[in-house]
Structure 1
Amino acid sequence: MEEIARESAERVRSLVRTRRAADASMVVAICDLAEGYRVDSDELLEVLAERRVRVGGAGTPKVSEFVSLELAGLLGCTPVAAGHRIVEALNLKHRHPGLFAAVQGLDVDADRALRAASRCGHLAPDAAEAVTRRWVPRQRRLGWAAAFTLLDRLIIESDPESAIERERKAREDRGVYLWGFQDGCMNLTGRLDAVDARYLDAAVERLAEVLEGEHPGLTRDQRRAKAIGVLANPAYATALLQAAAQQRLPMGDAVPAPVTVPVARLRPTLGIAVHIHCDALGELTGSARLERAGHLTTHLLAEALAGVDVTVHPVIDLPNLEPEDGYLPGRQMRRAVHLAFDTEAFPFSNRSSAGLDLDHTAPYQPGVRGQTRIGNLAPLSRRVHRAKTAGSWQVEQSRAGVLEWTSPLGYRYEVGRTGTRMLN
């Protein structure tokens, strides 16, 4: 048994080294692609000629504005994620040559080095290199969190005045975000002032205590999550807290005036589009889609909408929707395209189609009727739209809701409601 375990352990060590080498080679390959990528300017419309842009920090080279679109297909990720990989790789190579060499020598994991280079993104190239030069030999004996705690200290020591300014900007960079819909739930993250955050935590904790009577089967963490939803309806939260306060008052103390307006009428107005699909026989499929969220079961939908006023819109029959003659799609046509494409119609993109350009797959020809139709429209972000219009990326909509893209390097992708498939 000990011999088998030892052999397995040695395999793990070998694979760790192999993975480190592959990750280091990937960084080099991404840099080489970004630095060498060119679109044939003879094939582009002059007004939309390829632009060279600096996506990394000071000291990094300019690259093609379209290279992230090419890399996205190769990596099977979104253009935004591909762009981030390019920025990270170029920053590491050109702003941290010592750290870059350490990655190639397998002295530092590529992931750790890329994160370190990103942390130093605000520093001048010489200062950034000086910080990571001090950090590399010391981080080897440290775990991930301890290594970056050390790096943060070295960054502050290198330029205390800049650190103060970053703290000021961090306080300005506040916000609250919903993301990551899965199994009927979403994540909530944000950045708050420290005092506001403590007040919010206290309010959530207090409401979680109050909700224990209404939801005895929930755990404390589950009640805290429920309390966030209650705070979204201030009138309901006030009524709950007021009722709890009245129960605690000693005899003879003044009683706060009750909330007399029905709580349901004080609920904030919220517009959420829910799409329920039927099969060929008109039976519910059992799932529903919340726009800008994702799919959930109709069972959970019924529970979530209990006591909520619902407006039912007529069904849009996508295959039989009448074409339009004008260049700009009408309201119903735009809604139909967004139903046909939940996300941007580009390889591996996950950007919501809401708010994107609706592009004619086959270029619009003035005077020709029926061009603005399902089957000739697709939602594209501005950069993808520009790449397609410029002629660097070629696209055909073989059938409604299915596009075939060809990249400048000749890679082909099929994009539809089921995702992206590489064709060569």
Structure 2
Amino acid sequence: MPDDVLDTPNEVLALARTNETEIRQRELLRLRLAYHWAILHPATTQTGTQGPDGAILTLLEKPDSLGGDGTPAVAAFTHETLAAALDLTPAAAAGLIGDALDLHHRLPILLKRVEALQVPTWQARRVAVQTRHLPLDGARWVDTQLATRTDGAIGPLITDRLVAHAAANLDPQTTQSEEEQAQASWGLEVSHPAPTDYTGTSHLTISGDTPTLKDFHTLVATLAHHLHQSGDTSPLGVRKITAIRIITHLAAGVLTGHRPHDQAGQADLATMATMATVATLAGLHPEDLERLSKAVTRHGSKIKLIVHLDSDDLEIATTPDGGTETALATGRIERLGAATIARLRAWVGHTAVQILPVLNMARRDAVDSHDPPTWMRELVILRDQTCIFPRCSIDARTCDLDHPVPYKPLEEGGPPGQTHPENLAPLCRRHHRAKTAGTWRYHAMPEGYHAHGPHNTHYLRTPRGSKRI
């Protein structure tokens, strides 16, 4: 279409939608052709791969099973011919055939959405790759979970969480084994550049227990912030290194018997001398270091990991011989992934734990203040999970809570009880600003949120996703 024909934004949007439909149709045809090519070349003992009797010829070191568990193997060198016809590399053609096989045999619900042009082929293929290592039951479970979304949103973040959950629940022994292997790799290592490249900077690599590392990073960041308040104008990264220097020297003082403070918070003469030395090494005034050391003492363990698990998994069962055992169940850690109950128990044993109360998700109490109480914010976060802007996947815990019906202060004539769960919705900062600017608007509906933007754009957003209406 000539450029001069596209005179209005609506014409551009209409053509963009038409073009997207045509692209999905062509990509779907390519996927279908790849699948039929595989079906026309089944694996047999004559074609050099595993046949119905289980025999494998020596033509290949292993069968060409391009898809995951539950997909049929194909004849040797099948994808090379297709690659030549499509001007693809053999590896790319093998991936195309494997994805087609997985979608047909392991992800049939997702395939139907691709065929209905609801999901682009490239997104479906990415899910096929993400789930390929799962057993057939695991892939089918992920397929069913994705089907509950109304918008076809199957991005890496969504699918990765489902894949990790499926892997942990279907094979908890493997998950526990992987946790133990990962723990064996914990360590700390300092590396230095080559002498010809050395500029006084080295590198520290550390891996370890998640709560411990988060706790340490929080402490470093806290001290870096205090340094800034004390007048240190260095970049944040430099202040974090200074904070580590302070921590190490204060810890050395503790180990040598020169504790920063006694139980009453007072420093003795020996400690004051140690503090003066540390202050000199850290480039700080002794009074500033005194205040920072108190911050170290007050800090404690303040990390926050939110875990979702079934209470039944915490119960300890009695074995026939009188011993105790727990099931190899798994929980889900928000923003991180799955973890075995054994790993969670280990964290509970060494970290301060706060048990959050069970929320009544049907609760509809209202308050007069603009800011909601803690329980109400938690309810909205658990209900909506992400920013409610169409297709936005920003975690609700990092979002602002916006009032769909704008809040009006009581002193300005606003009615009481304006803040309640049905009049709160999570919006990330960017989309909160878009709403404030009037570029996008939305209102709550029984099934979700109706968002409407420029050029007559309308979406329905629910906890299962977004769809254009």
Q: Give the TM-score, by structure 1 length.
A: 0.38
> Which structure's relative contact order is higher, taking Cα pairs within 8 Å and 6+ residues apart?
1
Larger Rg computed on CA atoms: 2
